[in-house]
Structure 1
Amino acid sequence: MEPTVVKRADHNVSRKNISSAAVKVLYHLKDEGYTAYLAGGGVRDLLLNRNPKDFDVATNATPEQIRKLFRNCRLVGRRFRLAHILFRGEVIETSTFRAPVPEDADDTVHCENTFRTADSGQVMRDNIFGTPEEDALRRDFTINALFYNIADFSVIDYAGGLEDLEQKMIRVIGDPDKRFAEDPVRMIRAARFAGTLGFEIEQGAYDSICRNKDLLRHAAPSRMYEEVQKLFFCGHAKEVFHWLEKTDLLHPMFHDFSHWIDEDKTRHDWVIHALDQMDRWRKAGLQVHPALLFALIFGEYHEYLIQQLVEAGQSHLDAARNAVHGHLKGMCENVRVPKNVIYQVSDIMGNQQRFERTKGRRPQRFMQSRGFLDAFLYFKISSKAHNRNQELLEYWNEMRQPKKS
Structure 2
Amino acid sequence: MEPIILKRADHKVSRKNISSAAIKVLYHLKDEGYTAYLAGGGVRDLLLDRNPKDFDVATDATPEQIRKMFRNCRLVGRRFRLAHILFRGEIIETSTFRAPVPEDPNETLHGENTLRIEESGMVLRDNIWGTPEEDAMRRDFTINALFYNIADFSVIDYAGGLKDLENRIIRVIGEPDKRFAEDPVRMIRAARFAGSLGFDIEEEALKSICRNNDLLKHAAPSRMYEEVQKLFFCSHAKAVFQWLEKTNLLHPMFHDFSHWLDEDKVRHDWVYQTLEQMDRWRRAGLRVHPALLFALIFGEYHEFLIDQLVERGMSSHEAARNAVQSHLKDMCTNVRVPKTAIYQICDIMSNQARFHRTKGRKPQRFIQSKGFLDAFLYFKFSSKAHGRDEELLEYWTELRKSTPQISPARKGKGSRKPQTKSEIPIE
TM-score interval, normalised by the smaller of the two chains: over 0.9
CA–CA separation in structure 2 for the residues paired with 1:57 and 1:152:
16
Partner residue in 1 for 2:70: 70
Which segments of 5 or more consecutive residues in structure 1 lack a partner in the other structure? Answer: none
Amino acid at match of 1:29: L
CA–CA separation in structure 1 for the residues paired with 2:111 and 2:153:
33
Root-mean-square deviation (Å): 0.9
State whether residues 105 and 121 of structure 1, in contact with CA within 8 Å, keep that contact through their aligned partners in structure 2.
Answer: no
Give the 4+ runs in structure 1 shifted more than 6 A.
none
Partner residue in 2 for 1:18: 18
Partner residue in 2 for 1:28: 28
The reply on whether 1:151 has 2:127 as its aligned counterpart is: no
Partner residue in 2 for 1:124: 124
State whether residues 108 and 116 of structure 1, in contact with CA within 8 Å, keep that contact through their aligned partners in structure 2.
Answer: no
- Alpha-carbon offset, residue 111 of structure 1: 1.1
- Alpha-carbon offset, residue 402 of structure 1: 3.3
- Alpha-carbon offset, residue 129 of structure 1: 0.1
CA–CA separation in structure 1 for the residues paired with 2:132 and 2:243:
32
Task: Give the TM-score, by structure 2 length.
Answer: 0.94
CA–CA separation in structure 2 for the residues paired with 1:283 and 1:120:
39
1:220-251 Cα shifts (integer Å, max 9, x gaps): 00000000000000000000000000000001
Amino acid at match of 1:270: W
Partner residue in 2 for 1:191: 191
CA–CA separation in structure 2 for the residues paired with 1:196 and 1:306:
34
CA–CA separation in structure 2 for the residues paired with 1:316 and 1:101:
54
SS of equivalent residue, structure 2 residue 38: strand
Seen in structure 2, the aligned counterparts of structure 1 residues 221 and 403 have a Cα distance that, compared at 3 Å, is closer
1:147-175 Cα shifts (integer Å, max 9, x gaps): 00000000000000000000000000000
CA–CA separation in structure 2 for the residues paired with 1:129 and 1:254:
36
State whether residues 107 and 117 of structure 1, in contact with CA within 8 Å, keep that contact through their aligned partners in structure 2.
Answer: no
Partner residue in 1 for 2:361: 361
- Alpha-carbon offset, residue 206 of structure 1: 0.1
> How many matched pairs?
404
Partner residue in 2 for 1:339: 339
- Alpha-carbon offset, residue 109 of structure 1: 4.8
State whether residues 107 and 116 of structure 1, in contact with CA within 8 Å, keep that contact through their aligned partners in structure 2.
Answer: no
Amino acid at match of 2:292: L
Percent of paired sites with the same residue? 81
Partner residue in 1 for 2:268: 268
- Alpha-carbon offset, residue 100 of structure 1: 1.2
1:358-403 Cα shifts (integer Å, max 9, x gaps): 1111111000000000000000000110010011011111111237
CA–CA separation in structure 1 for the residues paired with 2:216 and 2:130:
28
Partner residue in 1 for 2:134: 134
Amino acid at match of 1:51: N
CA–CA separation in structure 2 for the residues paired with 1:250 and 1:164:
27
SS of equivalent residue, structure 1 residue 50: coil
State whether residues 79 and 124 of structure 1, in contact with CA within 8 Å, keep that contact through their aligned partners in structure 2.
Answer: yes
State whether residues 27 and 150 of structure 1, in contact with CA within 8 Å, keep that contact through their aligned partners in structure 2.
Answer: yes
- Alpha-carbon offset, residue 119 of structure 1: 1.0
- Alpha-carbon offset, residue 108 of structure 1: 3.0
The reply on whether 1:53 has 2:53 as its aligned counterpart is: yes
Partner residue in 2 for 1:160: 160
Which segments of 5 or more consecutive residues in structure 2 lack a partner in the other structure? Answer: 405-427
SS of equivalent residue, structure 1 residue 266: helix
- Alpha-carbon offset, residue 105 of structure 1: 2.7
1:13-54 Cα shifts (integer Å, max 9, x gaps): 000000000000000000110000000000000000000001
Amino acid at match of 2:376: F
The reply on whether 1:255 has 2:255 as its aligned counterpart is: yes
The reply on whether 1:231 has 2:231 as its aligned counterpart is: yes
CA–CA separation in structure 2 for the residues paired with 1:367 and 1:381:
17
Partner residue in 1 for 2:421: none
CA–CA separation in structure 1 for the residues paired with 2:345 and 2:116:
38
CA–CA separation in structure 2 for the residues paired with 1:162 and 1:403:
56
Amino acid at match of 2:366: F
The reply on whether 1:328 has 2:317 as its aligned counterpart is: no
State whether residues 15 and 23 of structure 1, in contact with CA within 8 Å, keep that contact through their aligned partners in structure 2.
Answer: yes
